[in-house]
Structure 1
Amino acid sequence: MAASDSPANASPLTIGLIGPVGTWIGRILLILALAIWVGPLYWLVNTALKVKVQIQSAAPVWFPDPITLENIEWVLDNLDQGAFFRSLRVVSISVGIAMFFGPLMAYALSRFKTRWNGQLENWIISTRMTPPAAMIMPYYFLALHTGLMNNELGLIIVYVAINLPLAVWIMLAFLRSMPDDAEEAALIDGCGVWQAFFLIVLPTLKQSIISGGLLVLILAWNEFFIAFVLMSSNITFPVQVGSFLAVGLNPEYGHMAAAGLLLSLPPILIAVLFRKSLLTGVHAFSGGK
């Protein structure tokens, strides 16, 4: 590269122009990205708060006037409370099991070295990356032949199988970023391996367990496809919300939007209130240290 083309020889005027231009390009791209992400959510809220005439208007109504809660009230009156509490039980138990065994499995993989550790880790993450549609037939036949169709226990087992690899992967990232000096000191003082884990490592993993649990909780709460197939009669909350889409020849878009809004509120609140913990978990899942 010629000396005149090197960054060091670039004129101050060129460098001064690149800075502001790059900043404005970044801002424009950020605004576009936010519009793509926030736009559907805004239209969901907008539709849920509009009267039927405004929803069916040929011209889009960007701001509901007057604001109405009729759609939300209709959904609350017609929503199956059993589906909501069924989802609450299934998600809570499956997330609890995943976050109990996740740190134990991750600690074993990170501290007990064998020739098969790499293969085990690849297999664990591959099970999480497999599309649910590819595994639904095995899940369906296993549930059918074990009597777990339309059974909360069967759905809990499937959710644990799906979410446990994610919990293990997040814990592995945290454990590998931790120095093992305190563990070695505990072992020298006479502690066993698992005593060192419960007394030294587990308290240190508190933040990672919280972030991993929140991430797994959001994914389990939003899951629709597997619950739709395995729980055809004892439906979960997302499946109940999906049932509002089939309303005949005159679809009630306001009711659909209100149902979707109610389903979205718990994950959105979790993401807003615990955003730092979630970012930590996502960073660990991507392999960050």
Structure 2
Amino acid sequence: MSKHARYRLENAGIYVGYLIVFCFFAFPIFWVVSLSLKSVPELFLTPPIWFSKTPQFQNYSFVIKNMGILHYMWNSAKIVVVTIGLTLLFSFPAAYALSRFQFKMKRPVMLMILVFQMISPVIIAIPLYRLFSEIGLINHSAGLIAVYVAVEIPLSTWFLKGYLDTLPLELDEAAIVDGCSRWSTLWKVLLPVAMPGVASVTILIAVASWSQFIIPFILLDDKDMFPMSLGLVTLKNSSDAITTHYLAAASSIGILPVMIAFILLQRFIVGALTNGAVKG
């Protein structure tokens, strides 16, 4: 086999692998959208059909008008926006310190951040409930956001630290020569340059916070405060009738903001991941 033929065969194998991975992740989304457009009889056809003969777009209007899905989305949006702001406020300076300063306990601190990053919210959910019950933060957005921020800070700090490592130290030195303090250098010089990394962390925080289920499930009892993830469970349990198509429609609406944000910011994510892989 010639070198050119081997090269083409390797490329074909790579693209086949890409296609398999794409189908693996895209099929659940396709199936949920397909279910959302079916009528009740079509839900139970055997074998199941891929597409509805008469798409039921009124399923979406029913969910929006009668099931309060927009209220749940608004709750999630408020939580996500505040979580992103507070997480970046803490993680960006921490990443800057770990990237630019050399101190005695730096490696143990990095190791601790990595360890905390691996802790699942499931592990801390029950202790959090007992703690928040004692201090009166059950059914409070502030308590929920505080937990979200604490969960997201380790990953955000680790990611931003890797990205800041790729920025030359000459930027800091030039800013200090021009009279900037460390604080001014951080926010006025490095932050604008590091926006691809910040954008990537923003979308990662948004996706994780939007889809978080365990923490709000434990800390919230008031339906009016439920985020999107809990709202979908409420829709499932709100009626004895068959609501699979309505639940699928609500799920499709729920993932739409995250998909749009990811599509709009994907070029920042790819750029930040590539730069962050150069030096860590």
TM over 0.5: yes
Partner of 1:69: 57
- Aligned mates of 2:177, 2:13 — CA distance in 1: 57
Does the 8 Å CA contact 1:171/1:209 hold for their aligned counterparts? yes
Identity over the aligned pairs, expressed in percent?
A: 24
List per-residue Cα deviations over 1:214-270 (Å, max 9, x = no partner).
Answer: 221121111111111111223212101122233666542101111110111011111
Matched, 1:244 2:248: no
CA-atom RMSD in angstroms: 2.1
Q: Compute the displacement of 1:288 (Å).
A: 4.7
Q: Compute the displacement of 1:25 (Å).
A: 2.8
Which has the higher mean CA deviation after the structures are superposed, 69-78 or 37-46? 69-78
Q: Compute the displacement of 1:279 (Å).
A: 2.5
Matched, 1:18 2:13: no
Matched, 1:224 2:221: no
Does the 8 Å CA contact 1:94/1:160 hold for their aligned counterparts? yes
Partner of 1:103: 92
Q: 1:82 to 1:42 in 2, by over 3 A?
A: closer
List per-residue Cα deviations over 1:44-95 (Å, max 9, x = no partner).
Answer: 1111111111112112111211111122122112333443322221111111
Matched, 1:212 2:211: no
Q: Secondary structure at the match of 1:245?
A: helix
- Which ranges of structure 1 fall in alignment gaps of 5 or more residues? 1-12
Query: TM-score by structure 2 length?
Result: 0.90
Partner of 2:120: 131
Larger radius of gyration: 1
Partner of 1:121: 110
- Aligned mates of 1:266, 1:34 — CA distance in 2: 20
Q: Compute the displacement of 1:41 (Å).
A: 0.7
Q: Secondary structure at the match of 1:239?
A: helix
- Aligned mates of 2:185, 2:231 — CA distance in 1: 46
**Structure 1 residue runs of 4 or more that deviate by more than 6 Å after TM superposition:** none
Q: Which of 27, 34, 38 is residue 46 of structure 1 equivalent to? A: 34
Q: 1:83 to 1:63 in 2, by over 3 A?
A: closer
Partner of 1:203: 192
- Aligned mates of 2:272, 2:127 — CA distance in 1: 30
Q: Which amino acid aligns with 1:51?
A: S
Partner of 1:235: 226
Structure of greater relative contact order (alpha carbons < 8 Å, 6+ residues apart): 2
Q: Compute the displacement of 1:14 (Å).
A: 5.3
Q: Which amino acid aligns with 1:155?
A: L
Q: Which amino acid aligns with 1:78?
A: N
- Which ranges of structure 2 fall in alignment gaps of 5 or more residues? none
Query: TM-score by structure 1 length?
Result: 0.87
List per-residue Cα deviations over 1:259-289 (Å, max 9, x = no partner).
Answer: 110111011111112211122345567x554
Does the 8 Å CA contact 2:40/2:242 hold for their aligned counterparts? no
